[in-house]
Amino acid sequence: MLLRLIIFLLCQAAGAALGWALAGAWGAAAGVALGSCLWLVVDSWRAARVLAWLRSTERIPAPRGAGLWGEAATRVRRLLRLARQREQASDARLADILAALQASPNGVTLLDAQDRIEWCNQTAQQHFGLDATRDALQAIANLVRAPEFSAYLASGDPAQGVLLSGRASTPAHPVRLEARLHAYGDGRRLLLSRDVTQLEQAEAMRRDFVANVSHEIRTPLTVLIGFIETLQNLPLAPPERARYLQLMARQGERMQRLVEDLLTLSRLEGSPPPGLEHWLDVDELLRQCHAETQALSAALAPDGPAHEIVFPPAQQLHAAGWLAGSASELHSLLGNLLGNAVRYTPPGGRIELRWQPLAGGGVHLAVHDSGPGIAPEHLPRLTERFYRVDRGRAAGTGGTGLGLAIVKHVAQRHGAQLRIDSAPGEGATFSVEFPPARVRPAPARAPAAESPAPAVP
């Protein structure tokens, strides 16, 4: 302000001096007035430039100059620059927040006070079949027409959430969603949705597992308790008593096998996969499984025709090579595949084990039987725990319903792939392909199982 006053006084003094020189005292007075008017015109012009710049909607350069109006323009320009930087920082933070919401595995939908869509991420669009651009400011109730969702939207207790079918749900592949509303701001609501299909399937599997275990154990327990009561209350002849004891022992063995298979599954699921430190002699493993398969066949059909059990020739077995992994797990895999083939193939049928090296260095192991075959609708579920194609027929085979589940877990832990091919009346083939990293050629002299890896020439 002092500089502004000094300039004003200088303008008056210059006018007075010029007027005095030209016309004396009256000229000095007129010069003072003329200097004041000249200063006022220049100051008004500079003020008009600043006001025009402030009023402009276009981005034009700010007027520059000294004095009060120049300083005002400079300060406004600095404030605008700081505001623009804050705006850009806010936009960047908003973009980061929206990117995080887009990356969320849960659906996020912002609703206004009238439950109209303000914004939604891609997951919510997939869950409800929305389009963020097309459906902006559309009522969510008009787009998600499930009756249970409409009732939940209108309810006074939104914290409970609601379960509904997803837009992509089909009878073959059901999709279940959980939607939950949360209030925020001035009457607005946040709609969160998540896919709970796997959780519901896991819960259903847990219920089925508990029910199946209870059923599998309750049946032999009922038989045992019945026989025990008979032995306690009735005087039986020695032959009949021996027969009852034999049946009781059979039911006890059945429960023992069930518990052992459950423990095996628990161990497979809770332990790290086997590495490449231990190598198993395939020749010795297959010979052991061959003997066990023949013994099981004789035990299941002592009076009927024996199964035709075909293994690779001795020379091919000797050249089968080595497998890296757990000997007990691989023995369980082969034992369950061969045991199922024996149990579900009628006496006199053919069971063949095939061992074929693959061109890429892996190996193809297959067990083929000439049994009744399996319908296509059962194939995807065969590796589920306790799943049986024919429960009535399976009850007399002595199986626990966990064999193929164990086979699947062992194959996965060894990096192998299990494949099942079957058709009614054409038997079944269960094949496992091991990767090249777990296969070594046989050395000149076959060492014992679970010994260190042989030197590869």
Q: What is the pLDDT along the chain (457 residues), one digit of tens a residue?
A: 555 666 666 776 776 676 677 676 777 777 767 767 876 777 677 777 777 767 776 666 666 666 666 667 777 778 878 888 888 888 888 888 888 888 888 899 999 988 899 999 988 888 888 888 888 889 988 888 888 888 888 886 767 788 888 777 777 778 888 898 888 888 888 899 998 888 877 777 777 777 777 777 887 888 888 888 888 888 878 888 888 888 888 888 888 888 888 888 888 887 888 888 888 888 888 889 999 998 888 888 777 788 888 888 877 766 667 888 998 899 999 999 998 899 888 888 899 999 888 887 888 999 999 988 888 888 888 888 877 776 555 455 556 778 888 899 999 999 999 999 998 888 899 999 999 988 887 765 544 444 444 443 3
The answer, as to whether pTM is greater than 0.85, is no
| Gap between the Cα atoms of 207 and 115, Å rounded | 38
Helix-strand-coil percent breakdown of the chain, rounded to 5?
A: 55, 15, 30
Cα separations (Å) of 309 from 312, 374, 396? 10, 20, 21
Helices (H), 56-193: 67-103, 122-128, 140-143, 147-154
Cα separations (Å) of 151 from 38, 146, 163, 168? 77, 9, 12, 22
Side chain identity at 417, as an amino acid letter?
A: Q
DSSP code, position 376 = G
Domains of the chain: 2-98 (no CATH), 105-195 (3.30.450.20), 203-271 (1.10.287.130), 274-457 (3.30.565.10)
Side chain identity at 182, as an amino acid letter?
A: H
- Size of the chain in residues: 457
74 alpha-carbon distance from chain centroid: 57
374 token code pair: 């399996």
Q: Give which of 137, 113, 112, 135 is closest to 124, Cα–Cα.
A: 135
12 token code pair: 């008056």
